[in-house]
Structure 1
Amino acid sequence: MKFISWNINGLRAVLKKNFLTVFNDLAADFFCLQEIKLQAGQVELDLPGYYQYWNYAEKKGYSGTAIFAKQPPLTVTKGIGKEEFDHEGRVLTLEYHDFFLVNCYTPNAQDKLKRLDFRLAWEKEFKNYLTTLATKKAVILCGDLNVAHQAIDLKNPQSNQKNAGFSPQERQAMTDLLASGFTDTFRYFYPEKVGAYSWWSYRFNARSRNAGWRIDYFIVSNDLVKNLTDSQILSEITGSDHCPVLLQTTDLT
């Protein structure tokens, strides 16, 4: 099975570029989007063979997630069941017979870490949400998790240690999540691969210089590791400041 996750930084913007071509070429079983930046009714997508699920932010033109799936789920859940965190359309969960698929756009701690307290409170509740799901059946988490976990996961670790996405607190939250029974699939297959990034700033020609960060993930509960066949970063695909990431597994349905 093929899963794709992509922060498209505005669906209306990427539809004017290459989204439908990329979508059709990849032909994934599940295509997860973050930062759709729209409200219900602002776009209509003709995606034959796919069911469409959306979680819009209340704030217009902000955040939001979507999943396009070839098979209908048993249930669809928007948010994590915590009122203070469920206004920004950040989490969308599809339940299938043997697994949950969780699509997430994690809050950014922002400049000078001014939203770090909110971010860390989110991390605690989101971890609780995932671990609770994992007591029921296997979990596949994907999305823009807004953290480069280790120094190998960004071009300039030394100069970014006090910046959003690489603060010690955010990195520790990822460490704690993985320790609770989850696996970072890319590092499972490529534990020492350097220069593997999924996001590049629009400034300073960062993408052409590959001065990036790996902040987009597929993370699975450990009971699914036996089903993994590959995890890739599709850095050749443009259209956003992020590139898609891919997970391939044995048949899970």
Structure 2
Amino acid sequence: MKLISWNVNGLRACVNKGFNEYFAEEDADIFCLQETKLQEGQISLDHGEKYRQYWNYAVKKGYSGTAVFTKKEPLSVSIGIEGVEETEGRVITLEYEGFYLVNAYSPNARRDLSRLAYRLEWEDRFRAHLKRLDKQKPVVICGDLNVAHQEIDLKNPKSNNGNSGFTLEERGKMTELLASGFIDSFRHLHPDTKDVYSWWSYMPKVRERNVGWRIDYFLVSERLAPAIADARIECAVMGSDHCPVVLELNGF
């Protein structure tokens, strides 16, 4: 099974930059999006009868939002997480026979860290959601989790220490999540690989010089580790300030 996750930073803009061509070429079994930045009816994507579509729109126009395109019909679909008012379109959970899929777009703490407290509370509720699911069957988590976990996961860790996305608090929440029974699929296969990132700022020449951050992930329940066939980051794919991340699982 091939799964792809991509923060498209505005799906309508990404469609004009090659999204449909990449989508068709990759032919993933499940394709997850974050930061779709649209409301119901604002876009029409025709992928024939091959994919079912599930959307979680933010109330605020042009903000946040998630979507999942899946070839296989899920057993159930739920929006949001318990204890969090779902107005920002951040989480979609799909249940399949062998696992749960959770597509997430974690809140940004903001440059001035004014939303850090909210972010940390959200992380606790998100982790609780994943642990509840994991008691029933394995979980695959994907999305823009808005944190570079370790120094290896961004180009300039020293100068970014304490900045949004690389605070000790946010990194600690990721450590806590992994310690509760999940693994980072990319680091599982590539523990020492450097200079592979999934997001670059729009500042001039940043992407050309590969001054990036790895903040987009596929995490899986620990018992799924033997099923991981590949986990990679498609750094060369343009269309957004993020690039797609890919997970291939055997046995599904």
Bin for the TM-score computed over the shorter chain = over 0.9
The 2-side partners of 1:83 and 1:141 are apart by 18
**SS, match of residue 203 in structure 1:** coil
Tell me how far 1:196 sits from its aligned partner: 0.6
Q: Which position in structure 1 is the counterpart of 2:78?
A: 77
Q: Which position in structure 2 is the counterpart of 1:148?
A: 148
Tell me how far 1:83 sits from its aligned partner: 3.7
Gaps of 5+ in 2: none
Q: Which position in structure 2 is the counterpart of 1:182?
A: 182
The 2-side partners of 1:129 and 1:81 are apart by 7
1:43-122 matched pairs, under 5 angstroms:
43-48=43-48, 49-84=50-85, 86-122=86-122
Q: CA deviation digits over 1:20-52, x for unaligned, max 9?
A: 000011110000000000000111110120000
**SS, match of residue 113 in structure 1:** coil
1:209 to 2:209 alignment: yes
Q: Given residue 56 of structure 1, which amino acid in structure 2 is its aligned partner?
A: Y
Q: Which position in structure 1 is the counterpart of 2:200?
A: 200
Q: Which position in structure 2 is the counterpart of 1:5?
A: 5
**Equivalenced residues, count:** 251
Tell me how far 1:188 sits from its aligned partner: 0.3
Are 2:232 and 2:246, in contact at CA under 8 Å, matched by a contact in 1?
A: yes
Tell me how far 1:74 sits from its aligned partner: 0.5
Aligned-residue Cα RMSD (Å) equals 0.7
Q: Given residue 186 of structure 1, which amino acid in structure 2 is its aligned partner?
A: F
Q: Given residue 212 of structure 2, which amino acid in structure 1 is its aligned partner?
A: G
Q: Which position in structure 1 is the counterpart of 2:224?
A: 224
The 1-side partners of 2:251 and 2:26 are apart by 17
Q: Which position in structure 2 is the counterpart of 1:139?
A: 139
Tell me how far 1:109 sits from its aligned partner: 0.3
**SS, match of residue 112 in structure 2:** helix
**SS, match of residue 226 in structure 1:** helix
Aligned pair in 2 of structure 1 residues 83, 177: CA closer, same or farther (>3 Å)?
closer
Tell me how far 1:112 sits from its aligned partner: 1.8
Q: Given residue 251 of structure 2, which amino acid in structure 1 is its aligned partner?
A: D
Percent identity reads 57
Q: Which position in structure 1 is the counterpart of 2:27?
A: 27
Tell me how far 1:251 sits from its aligned partner: 2.9
TM-score norm. by structure 2 comes to 0.98
The 1-side partners of 2:175 and 2:163 are apart by 18
Are 2:84 and 2:125, in contact at CA under 8 Å, matched by a contact in 1?
A: no
Q: Given residue 210 of structure 1, which amino acid in structure 2 is its aligned partner?
A: N
Are 2:197 and 2:235, in contact at CA under 8 Å, matched by a contact in 1?
A: yes
The 1-side partners of 2:54 and 2:47 are apart by 12
Q: Given residue 94 of structure 1, which amino acid in structure 2 is its aligned partner?
A: L
Tell me how far 1:8 sits from its aligned partner: 0.2
Tell me how far 1:87 sits from its aligned partner: 0.9
The 1-side partners of 2:204 and 2:45 are apart by 34
The 1-side partners of 2:111 and 2:19 are apart by 30
Tell me how far 1:204 sits from its aligned partner: 3.0
Are 2:84 and 2:122, in contact at CA under 8 Å, matched by a contact in 1?
A: no
The 2-side partners of 1:17 and 1:229 are apart by 29
Gaps of 5+ in 1: none
**SS, match of residue 31 in structure 1:** strand
